Structure 1
Amino acid sequence: MLIFAYLLPWITGTIWLVWLESFSAQRLPVNLPRVLGYGFFLGYFLCSASIWFVYTVFGQLSAAMVASLLLLLSALGFFLSWRKHHHGQLVISGQALKIKGKDKGLALLLLTLAIIHLAVAAYDAYNRPLLPWDAWTTWTYRAKIWFLNQGLSPFISMDAWLNTKNPGIYTIPAHDYPATVSLMQLWPVMLHGQWNDALAIFPGLLAGAALVLALYGQGRSLGWPALLLITGIYLLVSTPLLDAHLALPGYADLWLGGFAGLGFVALLQWSQSRDRTQLLIGLLFLGLGMLIKREGSLWLMMGLLFVIMQVLSWKLLLATAAGAALAILSGYSLVDLPWLGQTGYADGVLYLSRLGAITLQPQNVSSAVFINLFSNSSWNLLYFYLCASLPLVLLHGKPRTRYPVLSFLLLLATVIATVFFLSAEGAWLKDSTAFGRLLLQVLPALIFILQLNWQALFHPPASTQADEKR
């Protein structure tokens, strides 16, 4: 029954990813690793939405109803995919990689080490007690309350809770966080019928395997060599901070890494292939990230800016930047965007959509940023690799690679500067908590950029007219 609980959402999401990718103009075989990786996260989102829908409509938590709804969604997705692929003419690309003789030894070593990392993390995730702070104060705590009460009991602020006499209402400091991750953790124990911390948080470990599949599949779609694909997998699963979140699952940052991080990977892939389906999937995942954690709205805005930078000419970009600067100086830079809320700047306060408002208080945190990126052990040598490869790509890379990489890193640096250099949030850099977890949410994209840089330097594509126009 537990295997069914873990796999059913995954199957549902994968089927719908097959349908989404069927709209690609390239008409390529279905990229099995990619749809499995992205499908896992889409499926678990659909699972959490199904739990909420069943409870809203029928007033109860019913594993049978949720499973039936997921099966119905799977059947509908399969039917739509079958019709879209010309009544069953569905070709799946999942054949084994061909590794050249001189690379085989290193590739097998890296793949073995990656499997060991995941195996050790799986052992820890299942056998260690629930440990992460935010898990037992927010995410898993809510799921446990809902399971024990057999209902989605509301959570309110401390002040409001002190003034209520309703015993069915609860409070936690992060009472206004999205419920999606807690609903994901609720699903396996609903089918199990008895609360178990390890079973509730175990999908977080499966999310790590899905990240591997998605990253592998996106690189495979661009025709990268086998050694580069396996190296990317190893760099991802050997990152110490990701390892910690896999071995001690329960945080929402790993899940946001699947939605925001893989959303950015899809946008970067689109920048290389111009496959509009990847553009759609990237924006969809960034949008769903807003329902995982509040930082998701920040990543969605960054993703939209990234897309704009890829489609507009330099002249239009400069004109847009000049217009934004003029709006700030004239006091007309605060807008109310649908779904996102207030965004912009006014009276010394920066409004970042659902992330909230930040009062500008410049901080001198340069040394703390350097320590977090290059001295602490959370990232191994990731940022050394990025800094080493970037100048080489600037000097020798093709514009088709150089421009998207620079755009992404420039926007990411702007996000970091805004959140930590210009506000009181810079204090979080001292204990390396919020800063590291924020970057963990885009880790798959950073690994993908490293692979893009490597491919551009050592296996450059032929020049195209689009490159020359850049």
Structure 2
Amino acid sequence: MAMLILALLLPWLTGSLWLLWLESFSTNQTEPNTPRILGYGFFLGNFICASLLYLTHFLLGLLSFVSISALLLFLSCVGFLLVWQRTGYARLSIRFGFPTIKESGKGLALLLITLMVVHLFFAAYDAFNRPLLPWDAWTTWTYRAKIWFQNQDLSSFVSTSAWLGTNATDTYTLTAHNYPLAVSLIQLWPSLAMGTWNEGVTAIPGMVAGLALVLALYGQARSLGYSTLLALAGGYLLISVPLLDAHLALPGYADIWLGGFAGLGFVSLLQWSQSRDGVQLFTGLLFLALGFFIKREGSLWLAIGLAFVIVQNLSWKLLIALILASALAIFSGHGVVNLPGLGRLGYLDGAFYVPGIHAIRLQPQDASLAVVTNLFVNGSWNLLFYYLSTMALLQFLPASRQTRRALLSFVLLLSMVITTIFFLSEKGIWLKDSTAFGRLLLQVLPALIFALLIEWRAVFSTTEHSRDTVK
């Protein structure tokens, strides 16, 4: 058990210290934002751990818990020294005190925290007491981790035809053999610590990811000066979404991890759109880029994130000129660029191209009723999309141009993705079983809720600013 706790905390510590160093460059923060650092640090630390597992095996042919732990400890020490050099020891201390809350709001704050704990508790109970059920878990992500653990080697996975044509004993086949390795490496790590394979143990990082998402969202809301109650309400709204709870209680999918990278990446970009904090811009783009190594959809979200940044920095005249130039390039047959080492990006001959994703070919679908059913009738989202629809209508009320521009561009870019994939391509058939559609939105769920918090504050609190101190 001690080794399992070490395996959980050491990557978390590494990622948090390096994020603390990164945030020391921010001119907007007077002291560390502990919840945000811990939330984002968990995902960054697990990615670092997965990268070290891959690199040490690639260079030395080893899968050693002791060796990786030593490297993580070394990186933690380097991160600590860098922070110390940047800020001095006095500012390095991180306080865990509770923010100041008015007496009238303490009961509600305690209720929100209790409800979040209840959601996490029951999800964890299900995860540890049910067999591994999700299809992608036992056919791809966790299956691959189990083979690696049993062989103590990062055995290769190839297509069925390639597997039939080889005599190698350390080669296996998967339908999704070309999926990124990071999630399987993250699931492998706690089993290496325990020295034995246990499916319940592989679920632990994914369970903590739910807590990390709440911490990150709460911290980002507090960093913009939002009240403690509003930030807690955002955290509860996130953890109470049934589809997210299902992914926590039935572990093994990669979408919860992409929600940590792509979802929190967009949260940082939205925060940057309000605060113009360059550290948030860098963090957002970094997390979106790392999402490319989590799941293939990560490349799609990175492209949307770059488009979002461009929209925030261009005047309307330049933006319209860019749209017209893009349309002209598409109609003239020059709408695709080849990115070295990544592949095609753009539109050509009736197909959209995004690096890491197969061509999305135009094939219009009658998906309107299915989308409405998935968002507003089925129980996957509770009332979230009723809230978001109201937010869209509230855009017509007085709000700063900066806020309106950020929220409208984010919603329009996300709508463009949904329209292209589910209304204009053959992939609209995924709506029939209500799986891929919901999982795609789950990957940006934290950003959807953060956008809702921004709009709430813009409309209902324009004359009231919180003076709480971020702890």
Q: TM-score, normalised by structure 2?
A: 0.96
1:57 aligns with 2:59: yes
TM-aligned CA deviation for residue 356 of structure 1: 1.9
1:45 is aligned, of 47, 50, 72, to 47
1:167 is aligned, of 166, 169, 175, to 169
TM-aligned CA deviation for residue 422 of structure 1: 1.1
Aligned with 2:153: secondary structure?
coil
Q: Which residue matches 1:456?
A: 458
Asked whether the equivalents of residues 145 and 187 of structure 2 are also in contact (C-alpha less than 8 Å), the reply is yes
Q: Which residue matches 2:153?
A: 151
Within a 5 Å distance, the mapping from 1:8-407 to structure 2 comes to 8-86=10-88, 89-90=91-92, 92=94, 94-338=96-340, 340-407=342-409
Asked whether the equivalents of residues 368 and 429 of structure 1 are also in contact (C-alpha less than 8 Å), the reply is yes
Aligned with 1:131: secondary structure?
coil
Q: Which residue matches 2:468?
A: none
TM-aligned CA deviation for residue 399 of structure 1: 1.6
Per-residue CA shift, 1:100-128, capped at 9, x if unaligned?
23333333222211111011111111222
Larger RCO of the pair (alpha carbons < 8 Å, separation 6+): 2
Larger displacement relative to structure 2 (337-346 or 45-54): 337-346
Following the alignment from structure 2 to structure 1, what is the Cα–Cα distance between the partners of residues 95 and 387? 31
Asked whether the equivalents of residues 254 and 295 of structure 2 are also in contact (C-alpha less than 8 Å), the reply is yes
Per-residue CA shift, 1:322-366, capped at 9, x if unaligned?
000000110011101245421111111211121121111111101
Asked whether the equivalents of residues 324 and 333 of structure 1 are also in contact (C-alpha less than 8 Å), the reply is yes
Following the alignment from structure 2 to structure 1, what is the Cα–Cα distance between the partners of residues 261 and 91? 30
Following the alignment from structure 2 to structure 1, what is the Cα–Cα distance between the partners of residues 181 and 462? 44
Asked whether the equivalents of residues 397 and 459 of structure 2 are also in contact (C-alpha less than 8 Å), the reply is no
TM-aligned CA deviation for residue 447 of structure 1: 0.6
Aligned with 1:343: secondary structure?
strand
Aligned with 1:396: secondary structure?
coil
Identity %: 60
Following the alignment from structure 1 to structure 2, what is the Cα–Cα distance between the partners of residues 227 and 338? 47
Q: Which residue matches 1:410?
A: 412
Larger displacement relative to structure 2 (352-361 or 267-276): 352-361
Following the alignment from structure 1 to structure 2, what is the Cα–Cα distance between the partners of residues 370 and 196? 40
Per-residue CA shift, 1:421-461, capped at 9, x if unaligned?
11110000010000000000000001101111111111116
Following the alignment from structure 1 to structure 2, what is the Cα–Cα distance between the partners of residues 408 and 27? 25
Point out 4+ residue stretches in structure 1 off by more than 6 angstroms.
Answer: none
Aligned with 1:377: secondary structure?
coil
Following the alignment from structure 2 to structure 1, what is the Cα–Cα distance between the partners of residues 117 and 401? 35
**1:254 partner amino acid:** I
Asked whether the equivalents of residues 29 and 91 of structure 1 are also in contact (C-alpha less than 8 Å), the reply is no
Aligned pair count? 463
**1:63 partner amino acid:** F
Q: Runs of 5+ in structure 1 lacking a partner?
A: 464-470
Per-residue CA shift, 1:219-268, capped at 9, x if unaligned?
01011011111111110110000000111111000000000000000000
Aligned with 1:288: secondary structure?
helix
**2:218 partner amino acid:** Y
Change (3 A) 1:219 1:115: same
Alignment RMSD (CA, Å): 1.4
Per-residue CA shift, 1:358-384, capped at 9, x if unaligned?
111111101111100001100000000
Asked whether the equivalents of residues 351 and 358 of structure 1 are also in contact (C-alpha less than 8 Å), the reply is yes
TM-aligned CA deviation for residue 309 of structure 1: 0.5
Q: Which residue matches 1:426?
A: 428
Change (3 A) 1:340 1:303: farther
**1:172 partner amino acid:** L
Following the alignment from structure 2 to structure 1, what is the Cα–Cα distance between the partners of residues 455 and 70? 45
Per-residue CA shift, 1:48-101, capped at 9, x if unaligned?
001011111111211111111111111111111111114554254643122223
